[in-house]
Amino acid sequence: MIKKIILPAVILFLLFTGSLKAQTIISPNYSLKSHETLNIIKIEIGSEATIFYLRIENKIEKGTFCADKNIFVFYPDGMRSKLVSSTGIPVCPDTHQFKSPGESLEFVLTFPPLKKGTEWIDLIEECSENCFSFYGISLDNDLNKRINDAFALAENEEPVKAIGSFISIAGDIDNSNSGIEGLVFINIIKLAVASGDEVKAKEWYKKFKLSTAPRLSEYIKYLNDQGIKY
């Protein structure tokens, strides 16, 4: 005799609502950003909204900051979605006036829900001056962990192992994660330069220039501005 197992309604409800729980990406990696002290604390991706939690640290006397109403999430296919609301930060031309260097401001930007299957995005403010941007934000938690592990090797002064880790990541990147190529190539090249391996730096610089990485010209300019050019 086969017994039927009947789950209580409350358990069924919990199972269902659990599947709708937002995905959270803590300190996501990205290929390039505009403002040195602006960081993404986390991103919450839910069925109703996509929420960015950010922090900026002031570095100057009488510093100010604001967020334009024209902020967009850009998808890999070029489509974009516009900011729905912001919390904790003035909308330009109003500004937040920092009291002193070292002071931080945390704020929240809310967008429509992301398209299903999105593995990376750009976050771009469109304004007249000092606009902020993040290119190639990774939404893949497993990939973010691998990148963090590679960074840890570099921070522990193990550049050869770090380069090897980034090269391994580069070999595994496919079209769905191409937005993070900039970060991977840049770190391979910079680590090779820092460790005195000009041959490897030149090899990967040339590979990078021949790649189809999104916003490639921005990344090459970033390297060139740091004196890295082959």
- The percent of residues above 70 in pLDDT, for the chain, comes to 90
For 22-138, the fitting CATH number among 3.30.1330, 3.30.450, 2.60.40, 3.90.380 is 2.60.40
Mean pLDDT throughout 2-14?
45
Amino acid at 136: G
DSSP letter (8 states) at residue 47: S
pLDDT digits (tens, 9 = 90+) for 80-128: 999 999 999 999 999 999 999 999 999 999 999 999 999 999 999 999 8
Please write down the HEC assignment for all residues of 121-175: EEEEECCCCCCCEEEEEECCHHHHHHHHHHHHHHHCCCHHHHHHHHHHHHHHCCH
- Note the pLDDT of residue 12: 43
- Note the pLDDT of residue 224: 98
- Domain(s) of CATH 1.25.40: residues in the chain: 141-225
- Note the pLDDT of residue 19: 42
Tokens of 226: 């740091």
Nearest partner of 72 among 123, 128, 28, 132, judged by Cα: 123
pLDDT digits (tens, 9 = 90+) for 158-195: 999 999 999 999 999 877 778 999 999 999 999 999 99
Asked if residue 112 has a cis previous peptide bond (ω within 30° of 0), the answer is no
> What torsion, rounded to 10 degrees, do the Cα atoms 89, 182, 211, 201 define?
150
CB 201 within 8 A of CB 228: yes
Other Cβ atoms within 10 Å of 66 Cβ, number? 17
Strand, coil or helix: 23: strand
Nearest partner of 132 among 42, 214, 30, judged by Cα: 30
Q: Does 6 score more than 90 pLDDT?
A: no
- The fold of 141-225 is 1.25.40
DSSP letter (8 states) at residue 227: T
Task: Mark residue 196 as left, alpha or beta (left: phi above 0; alpha: psi -120 to 50; beta: remaining).
Answer: left
Contacts of 160 (CB under 8 A, 6+ apart): 195
- Domain(s) of CATH 2.60.40: residues in the chain: 22-138
- Of the chain, the end-to-end C-alpha distance in Å amounts to 75
